A and B are shown apart, each in its own frame.
Chain A
Amino acid sequence: MSKLLKINRLVGLYLIFFSPLVITLLVWSSFISTPSGVPVPHFDSRIASFVWDVLGIHFMFWLVSLLYFFIMLVFHGALRDSVIAFAAGLNARDEREELIIGHASRASWLSSMALMIFLLLSSGLMIKITKFNGDKGQVEAKEKRGSVSIGYRFTLFDPPVKNKQVTKPTGEKTVFLFTGLPFSKNMILMFLLLWQLLSFKIFARKVASRC
């Protein structure tokens, strides 16, 4: 085992075994209310203040270690193989398990591709169904009862957030409006991660039951 892999594994173990301290700090901080503009809470007890400081410093160190570990997961092949293979249950002990992993990986990859294509399409899709009320000035209202508009918007970058002023034409009522997926980027990425893990597990189990 290389020295770098040993160090990275130690960092991984540190992250796992010291995570209760981080959770403790996060839970504790949720119960403390600090006045606005004051970042550090005030404690009457010196012990509580000391423990808070120690946990805070440890949290900073833990976060830096976590950042280092995630970067290493991307760039250090041996660590990636051992950690992610363990987390996903990709350990192939013999040729049959290699076969199962191969089939499950293929099925999981294809299902993830299908899901990502669906997400890409639905993220830019816009559907609007409106119904005309028949107010004055609405030419369409004389002949039509409503309208359906479908569009697609593809942008490489999110536009800066502005206070949008929506000018709504009078005399029409929006019955249905869909302007892309309502989920955040974090939510979509987390969903894709979980999909990868779960779909692999499900397909692996399915293949294993056949052979």
Chain B
Amino acid sequence: MGSLQSKLNIESHVHVFRAKKRITQQQLADAVGVTRATIVALEKGNYNPSLDLAFRIAMYFETDINELFSVKATDNE
């Protein structure tokens, strides 16, 4: 893993949990109080959610935040 000052690439596993639970992006968006576009961007890895939203999603899936998001690699590598 590179320097802690470089930007982290956060990988989202939200789509996996969503598929397991068999819910749509809209249903998840409604449940956590965001728009569907945010869920789409989050699953694509284009948007890093705030801690608040990340915890809300984790609570919805009854899992740990580390299970939902992981650090893929850094820009330096």
A92 to chain B, nearest CB (A): 10
CA A93 to CA B35, docked complex, whole Å: 7
Q: Is the pair B47, A211 in contact by a Cβ cutoff of 8 Å?
A: yes
Chain B residues near A208 (CB, 8 Å)?
Answer: 37
Check B46 for interface membership: any CB of A closer than 8 A: yes
CB closest chain-B residue, reference A209: B46
Check B73 for interface membership: any CB of A closer than 8 A: no
CA A97 to CA B37, docked complex, whole Å: 9
Chain B residues near A95 (CB, 8 Å)?
Answer: 34, 38, 49-50, 52-53
Check B23 for interface membership: any CB of A closer than 8 A: no
Residue interface bits B40-71, CB-to-A below 8 A is 1, else 0: 01000011011011000000000000000000
CB closest chain-A residue, reference B45: A211
Known A-B contacts A210-B46, A211-B46, A211-B47; the reply to A94 vs B41 at CB < 8 A is no
Chain B residues near A210 (CB, 8 Å)?
Answer: 46
Check A96 for interface membership: any CB of B closer than 8 A: yes
Residue interface bits B6-42, CB-to-A below 8 A is 1, else 0: 0000000000000000000000000001110110010
A61 to chain B, nearest CB (A): 41
Find residues 192-211 in chain A having any chain B CB closer than 8 Å to their own CB: 208, 210-211
A88 to chain B, nearest CB (A): 18
Chain A residues near B35 (CB, 8 Å)?
Answer: 93-94, 96-97
A95 to chain B, nearest CB (A): 5
CB closest chain-A residue, reference B46: A211
CA A208 to CA B37, docked complex, whole Å: 9
CB closest chain-A residue, reference B41: A211
CB closest chain-B residue, reference A93: B35
B70 to chain A, nearest CB (A): 19
Q: Is the pair B46, A94 in contact by a Cβ cutoff of 8 Å?
A: no
CB closest chain-A residue, reference B38: A96
Residue interface bits A74-98, CB-to-B below 8 A is 1, else 0: 0000000000000000000111110
Residues of B near any A CB (own CB < 8 A) = 33-35, 37-38, 41, 46-47, 49-50, 52-53
What are 5 A-B pairs with beta-carbon distances under 8 A? A94-B33, A96-B38, A96-B47, A208-B37, A211-B41
Given A94-B34, A96-B34, 12 extra CB contacts under 8 A: A93-B34, A94-B38, A95-B34, A95-B38, A95-B52, A96-B35, A96-B38, A97-B38, A99-B47, A208-B37, A211-B41, A211-B46
8 A-B pairs with the lowest CB-CB distances in the bound complex, closest first? A94-B34, A96-B38, A211-B47, A211-B46, A93-B35, A95-B50, A94-B38, A94-B35
